[in-house]
Amino acid sequence: MDATSLTRNWWAIALRGVAAILFGLLTFILPGITLAVVVLLFGGYAIVEGIFNIIAAIRGRTGARAWWALVLEGLVSIGAGVVTFAWPGLTALVLVYVIGTWAIVTGVLEIVAAVRLRQQITDEWWLAASGALSVIFGVLLVVFPGAGALAVVLWIGAYSIVFGALLVALAFRLRSWRGEGRTPMARAA
């Protein structure tokens, strides 16, 4: 993945962010919904996010450049979504561990992508920040699984809104670079 493919596909990052924000808002608007509905919302979100990651990786694939991290992140997201649909009767505890593990793995992969991009673009910290937020969120879920279904729903909502906002900010930064007809400036060594 390189800066040119990111600027060309800024819209995919924006769509991921908007999907995350919408998902987060739904969890706050409807806090009394059953855990089964949360399972379905999470499963759908994870699958959509995974598909967009794979699309971005395939579209951005050029030569020997590493694009595997984004494909792997997409596959992990799709896998997490499929697991939630295959066993919708999962207990809240198991669901918390699935979501926590998913957030940690995807967050680490986003941090890896940000580190790889730091020499190619400025402000890659948006991607690193969204990855760090994912890791922190995942660790909190794994460490405190018994917080209760409503608390988990609110945690998921807050995480999704902040994560989505960071992705939308990154997307518009990439769009502005594209609109100016330039590639993001490399950071000085």
Residues 162-178 pLDDT 10s: 999 999 999 998 888 87
User: Is position 189 within any domain?
Assistant: no
Q: Tell me how many domains the chain contains.
A: 1
User: Is position 30 within any domain?
Assistant: yes
Average pLDDT of span 135-152: 78
User: Which two three-digit tokens encode residue 96?
Assistant: 């918390």
Q: Please, what is the angle between helix 149-179 and helix 125-143, to 10°? A: 170
Share of the chain above pLDDT 70, in %: 82
Residue 133: exposed, middle, or buried by beta-carbon count in 10 A (0-12, 13-18, 19+)? middle
d(CA 15, CA 71): 17
Q: Mind listing the pLDDT tens digit for each residue in 28-85?
A: 887 666 567 777 878 899 999 999 989 988 887 765 556 788 889 899 999 988 988 8
pLDDT of 186 reads 53
Return the number of other C-beta atoms located less than 10 Å from residue 161's C-beta: 19
User: Is position 186 within any domain?
Assistant: no
User: Is position 76 within any domain?
Assistant: yes
Instruction: Evaluate if residue 127 carries a pLDDT over 50.
Output: yes
User: Is position 56 within any domain?
Assistant: yes
User: Is position 120 within any domain?
Assistant: yes
pLDDT of 185 reads 53
Share of the chain above pLDDT 90, in %: 28
132 vs 80, residue with greater confidence: 132
Among residues 23, 5, 27, 48, which one has the least CA distance to residue 165?
23
Where residue 149 sits, what CATH number does that domain have? Answer: 1.25.40
User: Is position 16 within any domain?
Assistant: yes
Where residue 189 falls among pLDDT bands split at 50, 70, 90?
A: very low
Average pLDDT of span 1-26: 85
Residue 99 sits in which domain range? 3-178
User: Is position 158 within any domain?
Assistant: yes
CA distances from 112 to 2, 68, 132, 155, 168 (A): 13, 11, 11, 24, 19
CA distances from 17 to 39, 62, 145, 161 (A): 20, 25, 26, 8
154 vs 139, residue with greater confidence: 139
